[in-house]
A and B are shown apart, each in its own frame.
Chain A
């Protein structure tokens, strides 16, 4: 009897130690990856990174055109994707909360949410790059917008569903039309959550490489022409990291550091927004 008990206790302790080890293992990777990234990235960080163009192999330079390209592509993608995402989420939470269209859209949206991003790149190549005959910044930002939409749809729907119905009823009782009730009352109540959704979407696309590879392509030079290939930070990192040149590789690390810091800052901000909303 005592023997059985001891055996059970032993088994329990073993699994508990294993679970502790697993957690340490998981956290260990985070520390390792961030550690190496900080070390390698900071050693290459200088003012030139933000003021000079990407260099030809064998010489020094910066990442200015890539950073600007990334900002423009991301900004446009958010501009295109957010309105569509918010409107679709609004329909699902406000108008058709229980109808069939909503459940189909929800299912499809969840699939799009985790669909391989390289397939999105192929899709945009087929519908934009191939008919237009050349790679372009527009195609790149549309590809990113396709990734933004599902994220925004999901959070908008979730956040609007959380808005208490009594608010809607109060608005209706003073004669407010439904569209105004949604835009003036429901949106305001769900604002923090919806902003979080957009931030998460930005975090998601700012590191996306695969859909840009054959839409926006890359550009060695400064380009404000969205109708031509545009450089972006992730694609430049991809190209530079796989090259044999030391200068390029060190720039790739610096670029990686910039992206990671931006993404982590965005996701921590998003997290802070949602928690403050929960507590209040």
Chain B
């Protein structure tokens, strides 16, 4: 015979025991659910990261596959042939490659010194309150879509060059032996030089903003020491800032070069699309990207399409190398500064 109260106690003990079990199982379930969600999320993010790799390999693979017919038909000769004849299906990439290199060279020749000068102005000379607005304005240049540069170049810049700069160049250099062939021919307005100048304006902000960033990262104590010795601003930039940031500046320049090489729309508007190599920068030419943009949708026949895709592959390989160098250099300077 047990006291009634004791039964309650046993009941309670039993009940609370079952409660504990129930609690424990639900907690275990929750933990399992969390663990499942955790693993799922982790794998999801990992898959997305791998997708980025897949995109790049997809780009390379599809370009190689697409250009196989052209590679089989023309082999290595594709790279060194100037001929581009859709009617006889005879294609060579020499003229577009040449045009791409020349326009990019003109662009870098102009944009590098000016870009570095602007970066120097922004970091050394400019009053503090003006730095942000001017820096922002220069970076807005980078934000303007390339098609805007194209339409502006075609309707405003090319006619302007045709009437001013180009006759001037022809008049000045016409008598000098080697330079005369460089600036030979009538002033068309559109042509290799115009494309190069537009590219210069387009890559300028890239070079400026990266140089400014690396210039800003020079330890002040180095500059102060040089100023303390009595160096002028120019001497500080030339002998302290530039040597310290050389790798980063070169990285920025190569980033700009990568952009200039691959730029499509702005160039397509003003280059004139002529498949020939001429010594004169005033003559119309073509670049890899302009050729693709102009002809791809109208290309008939597998060989024609395939040749254009091979052009794309060449462009991708060139820019890949340039950009890889740029990133390598920028990561080196970041390591040193960071």
Instruction: List residues of A whose CB falls within 8 A of some B CB.
Output: 8-9, 11-12, 15-16, 18-23, 25-27, 29-30, 32-33, 36-37, 40, 83-88, 90-92, 94-96, 101-102, 104-105, 107-112, 114-120, 122-123, 125-127, 146, 149-150, 153, 177-180, 182-183, 203, 206-210, 213-214, 217, 234, 237-238, 241-242, 249, 252-253, 256, 259-260, 263-264, 267, 271
- Of A36, A91, A117, A237, which contacts B264 at CB under 8 A? A117
Structural contact, A23 and B316, CB atoms closer than 8 A: no
Structural contact, A22 and B114, CB atoms closer than 8 A: yes
- Of A90, A108, A214, A234, which contacts B145 at CB under 8 A? A234
B190 to chain A, nearest CB (A): 11
Alpha-carbon distance A118/B224, docked complex (angstroms)? 47
Known: A110-B327, A146-B55, A177-B34. A119 touches B312 (CB 8 A): yes
- Of B37, B144, B234, B269, which contacts A179 at CB under 8 A? B37
Per-residue contact bits, chain B 247-267, to A (CB 8 Å; 1 contact, 0 not): 000000001001101111100
Give the total of B residues in contact with A, Cβ under 8 Å: 87
Alpha-carbon distance A36/B126, docked complex (angstroms)? 28
- Give chain A residues whose Cβ lies under 8 Å from the Cβ of B324: 107, 111
Asked whether B58 is an interface residue with its Cβ less than 8 Å from the other chain, the reply is: yes
A-B pairs with beta carbons under 8 Å apart, 25 shown: A9-B232, A12-B232, A26-B204, A29-B204, A96-B49, A101-B50, A115-B59, A116-B263, A117-B262, A119-B59, A119-B315, A122-B62, A122-B63, A122-B308, A123-B62, A177-B38, A178-B38, A179-B42, A207-B145, A210-B265, A237-B151, A238-B147, A238-B150, A260-B145, A263-B145
- Give chain A residues whose Cβ lies under 8 Å from the Cβ of B204: 26, 29
- How many inter-chain contacts with C-beta < 8 Å in the A-B complex? 262
Structural contact, B121 and A22, CB atoms closer than 8 A: yes
**Smallest CB-CB A-B distances: 3 pairs:** A207-B145, A116-B262, A87-B48
Structural contact, B62 and A102, CB atoms closer than 8 A: no
Structural contact, B312 and A238, CB atoms closer than 8 A: no
Structural contact, A30 and B137, CB atoms closer than 8 A: yes
- Main secondary structure on chain B at its contact with chain A? helix
Structural contact, B293 and A213, CB atoms closer than 8 A: yes
Alpha-carbon distance A214/B296, docked complex (angstroms)? 7
- Give chain A residues whose Cβ lies under 8 Å from the Cβ of B232: 8-9, 11-12
- Main secondary structure on chain A at its contact with chain B? helix
Structural contact, A107 and B49, CB atoms closer than 8 A: no
Structural contact, A119 and B235, CB atoms closer than 8 A: no
- Give chain A residues whose Cβ lies under 8 Å from the Cβ of B289: 116, 118, 210
- Give chain A residues whose Cβ lies under 8 Å from the Cβ of B114: 22, 25-26
Structural contact, B145 and A252, CB atoms closer than 8 A: no
Asked whether B176 is an interface residue with its Cβ less than 8 Å from the other chain, the reply is: no
- In this complex, which of A83, A88, A238 has the most chain B Cβ atoms within 10 angstroms of its Cβ? A88
Structural contact, B46 and A213, CB atoms closer than 8 A: no
Structural contact, B51 and A84, CB atoms closer than 8 A: yes
Which B residues, 311 to 338, have Cβ-Cβ distances below 8 Å to chain A? 312, 315-316, 319-320, 323-324, 327
Structural contact, B201 and A110, CB atoms closer than 8 A: no
Structural contact, A33 and B152, CB atoms closer than 8 A: yes
Alpha-carbon distance A20/B114, docked complex (angstroms)? 10
Alpha-carbon distance A22/B207, docked complex (angstroms)? 13
